[in-house]
C-alpha cells in the first residue's frame, strides 16, 4: 500500500515535471489493443480465439481482439501442415501458423494457440520441458494440457506493453 502510494506520488511528480497531463483513466490508457485475424486459420479458428482469451484473462496492458471488418489486423493466423510457428515483425505485429504436424501428434491445441500468441506478445521460446511453462512449447510432453502462461510469463508481457501507449490519453502543453 505504501509502495503503491509512493509510486502514485512519483507518477504525479513526473507528470508535473514533464508538463504533461494524462486525463484518461489509467486502466483505459494502459491497454493496447492488438487485432488478430483468425479467418484464415481454417479448422482452428475457434481455438485461435481461445488462445487470445487465455491471454486476455491474465494480462492488463494488452488485449487481443478479433479484427473488425475493414481494419488491418496486427496479427494474422494461418494453418498448414508444418510445425506451429510465429513470425514477429515487431512487438504485437506479425503472423503465426497453427501447424498440423503438432496437432496430428496430439499436442494440445489451446496450448499451441496461446504459445504462438505469446511470441507475438514478446516472449521467446524457453525449452524447459516443463508443462507449467507456456513458452516451453513442444519441449513439454505431448500429454501437457496446460494452455496458461505462468506468472513470470504474464509479468513479462505486461512489462513489454507497459507504457507502450504513451501516445494515448490527453496531453496539454503548458
Active site residues: 116
Residues contacting residue 71 through CB under 8 Å, at least 6 positions apart: 35
Do the Cβ atoms of 171 and 19 come closer than 8 Å? Answer: no
CB-nearer residue toward Zn ion: 110 or 137: 137
Beta-ladder partners of 93: 90
Where along the sequence are the contacts to Zn ion (CB under 5 A)?
Answer: 125, 137
R_g over Cα of the chain: 18
Minimum Å gap between C-beta 170 and Zn ion is 39
Beta-ladder partners of 65: 35
CB-nearer residue toward Zn ion: 10 or 152: 152
| DSSP label of 67 | P
**Three-state DSSP class for residue 37:** strand
Minimum Å gap between C-beta 33 and Zn ion is 23
Minimum Å gap between C-beta 166 and Zn ion is 29
CB-nearer residue toward Zn ion: 51 or 137: 137
Amino acid at each position: 500500500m505504501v509502495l503503491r502510494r509512493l509510486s502514485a506520488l512519483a507518477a504525479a511528480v513526473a507528470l508535473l515535471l514533464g508538463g504533461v497531463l494524462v486525463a484518461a483513466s489509467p486502466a483505459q490508457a494502459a491497454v493496447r489493443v492488438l487485432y488478430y485475424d483468425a479467418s484464415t486459420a481454417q479448422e482452428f479458428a475457434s481455438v485461435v480465439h481461445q488462445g487470445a482469451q487465455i491471454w486476455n484473462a491474465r494480462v492488463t496492458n494488452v488485449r487481443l481482439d478479433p479484427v473488425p471488418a475493414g481494419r488491418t489486423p496486427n496479427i494474422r493466423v494461418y494453418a498448414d501442415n508444418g510445425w506451429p510457428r510465429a513470425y514477429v515483425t515487431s512487438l504485437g505485429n506479425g503472423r503465426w501458423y497453427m501447424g498440423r504436424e503438432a496437432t496430428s501428434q496430439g499436442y494440445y491445441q489451446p496450448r499451441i494457440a496461446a504459445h504462438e500468441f505469446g511470441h507475438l506478445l514478446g516472449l521467446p521460446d524457453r525449452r524447459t520441458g516443463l508443462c507449467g511453462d507456456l513458452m516451453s512449447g513442444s519441449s513439454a510432453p505431448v500429454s501437457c494440457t496446460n494452455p496458461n502462461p505462468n506468472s513470470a510469463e504474464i509479468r513479462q508481457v505486461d512489462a513489454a506493453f507497459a507504457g507502450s501507449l504513451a501516445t494515448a490519453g490527453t496531453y496539454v502543453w503548458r
